[in-house]
Amino acid sequence: MAEIKGTSGNGQKPSTQLLTTNQGRPVGDNQNSVTAGRRGPITLDDFQLFEKMAQFNRERIPERVVHAKGSGAHGHFLVTQDITKYTSAKLFSKIGNKCETFTRFSTVGGEKGSADTVRDPRGFATKFYTEEGNWDLVGNNTPVFFIRDPLKFGDFIHTQKREPGNNLKSATMMWDFWSLSPESLHQVTILFSGRGIPDGHRHMNGYGSHTFSLINAAGELFYVKWHLKTNQGIKNLLVEAAEVLAGSDPDYSQRDLTHAIEKGEFPSWSVKIQVMPEAEIDKFKYDPFDLTKVWPHGEYPLIDVGVLTLDRMPDNYFAETEQAAFNPSNVLPGMGYSPDKMLQGRLLSYPDAHRYRIGTNYDLLPINARKNAGANYHRDGSMRFDGNYGSAPNYEPNSFGGPAQDAKYTERPYTTSKTVEKIGRYNHREGNDDYTQPGDLWRLLPEDEKNRTAKAIAGSLGQTPLRIQKLQLSHFKKADPDFAYRIVKALQTDEHPEYLHGPDAAELTAAGRLPEK
């Protein structure tokens, strides 16, 4: 039988062995309520009972709307390569620089108690505590996402949650939305490939996913994509094993991470960047700020930056993992954003979500607090539990020597394109190629993974109305006719004869690509 770990590490140890109320009054009896006689009822003066009940009733904070089920670990980041030609961030000023980190992995759609081994993207968020403030790289285990405009985020996430009427998960909602949003095809292909069910958190890559920027000391700007490549090797679960684990060990990934770190097997990731000089943004064949696209490795090779290692589990899950609040707007001097619309939506909505979920002063909680010196004129708010800057002036400018701006930290202006366009709502589907990259991915999958991917898609798509199947199959066909063909084979239905016997099959045969029936 496993023992419960005592209070150790960074956790706050009880300051006394004497049990007290919240106000410090010693407790004489923690077993029996105050009752009118042996058989009750309980009297209203049992303040201790009411304090315990009231505290208990308020233990839960709202769970995250997305990424509710997660695992966190402390670690450190070591700079191993010189990238000062791209950024002036002090963290990267010399090889050997190191900072503390906190990483949280998660599934996306499930609730806080849901199973770890589901087919779902995984969140991969790291907070780097640096001498210039906190840098949060808040990405996923996939380099792309389902949508490219944040206006659709709430709609999309609703399809990943529960049907409003019956509170059940719904393949129809998902495929209805995806089939009407072909920009999702790339991420859908990754989701149903082997990488859709990673074997725990240690064996998957992380990606910053968005395009960010780096700015060097000369003020030159480079657009970058961040990659975190697992040094444990990619390992995925086959769907059959994942389903068994979802029943027998729903906390599989949390357990795997905890056990590995407790055994001293510290997982690590090689951190790399792809770099696109600002002058090249109009030359790239895709919109470099489109979150549904990757930058091909051949054109933008991965450049080594450093190593992230996780070596300590939280002492207290709620205080650290649950209250951790990551925010893509947390970047360092020498770093910046990009015109990626999804990134901009997240810059606004992440801190907004934290204020709702944890409170106005969430940045003061130890897990989120900066470790460097810092000061500003924000004051008050609920649960202001530091000294609130005492009697220091709470306005700026002031003549009392309060903290002041330094122009050298002003954000560097950037351009969205060399051609300046009018501000407005532009149709993001117009002239956009949603099919080549999912097709590229399909073509690089090994034979057995192609078949498993097609089977996984068929298992889900087969639960939806025919009109949705037909529309979605037309997207798979545009990515690669073989992709659609194999899904239809796996659907084991006569409802889509055009793919098996009709003109689509003829097209595949002509190209010499019709797989065996």
Q: Which is nearer to ligand NDP, 236 or 330 (CB)?
A: 236
Give the shortest CB-86-to-ligand NDP separation in angstroms: 18
Known catalytic residue at 140: yes
Q: Which is nearer to ligand NDP, 264 or 298 (CB)?
A: 298
Which of 63, 315, 440, 498 touches ligand NDP by CB under 6 A?
A: 440
Angle at 377 between CA 375 and CA 380, to 5 degrees: 110
Q: Residue with structure tokens 């009392």?
A: 400
Cα–Cα distance measured from residue 468 to residue 173, given in angstroms and rounded to the nearest whole number: 10
Give the shortest CB-197-to-ligand NDP separation in angstroms: 12
Q: Point out which residues pair with 73 in neighbouring strands.
A: 103
Distance (Å, whole) CA 456 – CA 490: 9
What values do phi and psi take at 497, rounded to 5? -60, -25
Within 57-96, the residues that bind ligand NDP by CB under 6 A are none
Q: Which residues of 235-246 are buried (b: 16+ CB within 10 A; e: fewer)?
A: ebbebeebbebb
Per CB under 6 A, the list member of 441, 457, 484, 505 interacting with ligand NDP is 441
Which of 195/201 has CB closer to ligand NDP? Answer: 195
3-state secondary structure 237-290: CCHHHHHHHHHHCCCHHHHHHHHHHHCCCCCEEEEEEEEEEHHHCCCCCCCCCC
- Which entry of 74, 76, 134, 140 is annotated as an active-site residue? 140
Select the span of 77-85, 151-159, 384-392, 436-444 touching ligand NDP (CB under 6 A): 436-444
**Positive or negative, the Cα torsion across 346, 348, 353, 359?**
positive
Residue 397: cis peptide before it, omega within 30 degrees of 0: yes
Tell whether the torsion through CA atoms of 189, 157, 424 and 213 is positive or negative. negative
Binding ligand NDP (rule: CB under 6 A), the pick from 74, 119, 152, 195 is 195
Kindly write down the DSSP assignment for every residue of 133-195, as one continuous string.
EEEEEEEESSSS-S-S-GGGHHHHHHHHSB-TTT--B-HHHHHHHHHT-GGGHHHHHHHHSGG
Site for ligand NDP in 355-414 (CB under 6 A): none
Residue closer to ligand NDP (CB basis): 129 or 483: 483
Q: Among 106, 181, 205, 209, indicate the residue that binds ligand NDP (CB under 6 A).
A: 205
For ligand NDP, which residue of 75, 194, 288, 481 counts as binding (CB under 6 A)?
194
| 287 contacts 421 by C-beta, under 8 angstroms | no
289-318 positions binding ligand NDP, by CB under 6 A: 294, 296-298
Per CB under 6 A, 445 contacts ligand NDP: yes
Point out which span in 90-98, 119-127, 342-350, 444-452 binds ligand NDP (CB under 6 A): 444-452
Catalytic entry in 67, 74, 475, 496: 67
**Contact 474/178 with Cβ under 8 angstroms?**
no
Residue of closest CB approach to ligand NDP:
297
Q: Which is nearer to ligand NDP, 26 or 446 (CB)?
A: 446
Q: Which is nearer to ligand NDP, 242 or 294 (CB)?
A: 294
Q: In angstroms, give the least distance from the CB of 448 to ligand NDP.
A: 11
Fill in the per-residue mask, 143 to 162: x = in contact with ligand NDP (CB under 6 A), - = not in contact: x-------------------
Q: Which residues contact 65 (CB under 8 A, 6 or more apart)?
A: 157, 353
86 or 129: CB nearest ligand NDP:
86
328, two tokens:
């893509």
Question: For binding to ligand NDP (CB under 6 A), which residues are involved?
Answer: 143, 186, 190, 193-195, 205, 227, 294, 296-298, 437, 440-441, 444-445, 449
- Active centre residues (catalytic): 67, 140
